[in-house]
Structure 1
Amino acid sequence: MLTLFVLQLYFKQFVSSDFESFYNPLHGNCYVYNSGWNDSKQIVTATREGPKNGLEMVVNIDQMDYVKQAGSLAGIRVVILDQNQMPFPEDEGVSVGPGQLTYISLQRHEINRLGSPYGSCTEQLFDPFTSAYSAFYNVQYRAKGCEYTCYQKKIMHECGCIDFSYLNITALMENINADNMSLCQSGNFEQDECRYAIKMKFMNKSLTCDCPERCNDVIFDSFSSYLDWPMKSEQAKIAQMYNLTQDEVVTDNLLRVVIYFSDFHVHELDEGPAYELVQYLSDLCGVTGLWFGFAMMTFFEYFELLSDENNTLIMQFKSDVASAHVAID
């Protein structure tokens, strides 16, 4: 249950229904607070900066319930995104271990990219066939979700199975018999070889996927700092506060996280055209005018040269005629 996992949360008011959940193949059950996935739930906002005005929670990871085959690490993964976004904890976020108080300070960045004809970003926010996560979780488009959807489609089309590490998208697939589609088997040589070839293309970014970035995006830069928590003299008190038994060592199971804005300044990154049409036409007219001016100057210079030559010939002719008259007399 979520209330056994998140023991305490300080931010406005803790209500377990404020969390949305999803399953991640690598990290298991994941919970999203203040997600914006459900339109009927109000989004809470921070009104002041600093650790005292941020979100603070105490989490019990309960190591005794860990599945040994799932991994050798204990702790949680914290991913911070804007509302209506799908988190991918295997690729992003901050790792937090038990027995620690972790401070995560945030700085908001807004990115405004240019679309056609300057760039290839997309303004499409919901496209379940490009990013299947939009269909399953009512989240907005992300390039990473599009890439994982594309990867799964390639696996299903070329290998004839579903990669269990990614979202099962059989319900969205066209021109494919979903009833005969099953999870890829690790002992199947043909499937393993096919998956490996596609995975290598995916890792090398040579897999043909049309997944542009969003034209308008929000990201958060984060800075983390850590302290041991709780101190030894407080461990018995903390164990009593959260109804932990003697077998449950506080420093092995509890962790505390404080997430806050370092300031409310928003850093904007705006793309602009390096060479606009107006500037191009202006420069074109300028260059055209320059060359036309040179051409006209050349024309008049040539005309003047012909005129001078003509005058010279006329004067020479008159001089010869005058000399001839003198000789006759």
Structure 2
Amino acid sequence: MKAWTFGDQAGLESLRLADLPTPQPKAGETLVRVHAAALNNRDLQALRGTYGPRKPEDRILLSDGVGTIVAIEGENHGLAPGQRVIAPHFAGWIDGPFTPAIFAQDVGISRDGWLAEYICLPTASLIALPAAVTDEVAVTLAAAGTTAWHGLVEFGGVKPGDLVLAPGTGGVAIMALHIAKALGAQVAITSSSDDKLDRCRALGADFTVNYRTRPDWAAALLEQTGGRGADIVIDTIGLGEIEQTLAVAAANGRIALIGGLSGAPGHAPNMFGMIGKNLTLKGITSGSRAMLADLVDVVAANGITPLVDRTFPFAEADQACAHLDRGGHMGKVVVTV
């Protein structure tokens, strides 16, 4: 089969299109024919050798994908050949609380990913898709969708009328916008692009701030809301802006720390605002199969169509990585297989 592999992890140019044997499912595994896969920022970090330990050069990339079951070895868990399926990228995290052991089954990192014609996955991790959830929707859900769901629902306890802040316009932020609006919350988005903010308002964002024209974006958002802070923050920024994040959070707010795009080594942020507002700050590392299954149900029931920035054919997966790396995207970047 054809597959894209990490190579020597010296940069995006390390990506290699290879001919590999089609994987054969072991007991407890299912062989899936891949329809499409989606990129995440961590894929670029891994290609540069900056995301965890070095991977085998023939390790296949990408954590998000959708496909059709070809063969099941062992217990079928209610599944059958011909069904369309997705899986969480932590393929061993079926339910329950987080444990570091989940990193041993990280699809596209510690085990082969979706950027190939076929993939083998633990059968217990697979989720059958309803007809209402198309391939284009399903391919966006596993990493960014489950991460947003974990922060908003499992940790944040989002409810109708809450104000959610999702900085940025990447996959997690836009997914948080879709989910929060479907669950009845208001949403604030920040970006350095007025064009992207216009598109976010078209998607349902209630408040928007250009942080380039308003570096004091927290104050700008509070001006728009009449002083009301965010009940939940899906924080993809990191510690470099944490003082503003604390300032914009409402009393008893929940901050889901997901990304680390800002903050220099040695930076010691002032965290006193957490105490004064009784805030909760929690690191979020994607989610379980159970969380992804709940998200699929909400997506199907509400007709959510996550934003796809651009779709590339399989032969141009290297160009898809370059496109994501340039940073002008909004939503997900997808590769069809």
Category of TM-score, reference length = shorter chain: under 0.3
The higher relative CO (CA closer than 8 Å, separation ≥ 6) is in: 1
TM-score, with length taken from structure 2: 0.26
Which entry has the higher C-alpha Rg, 1 or 2?
1
Which has the larger share of helix? 1
TM-score, with length taken from structure 1: 0.27
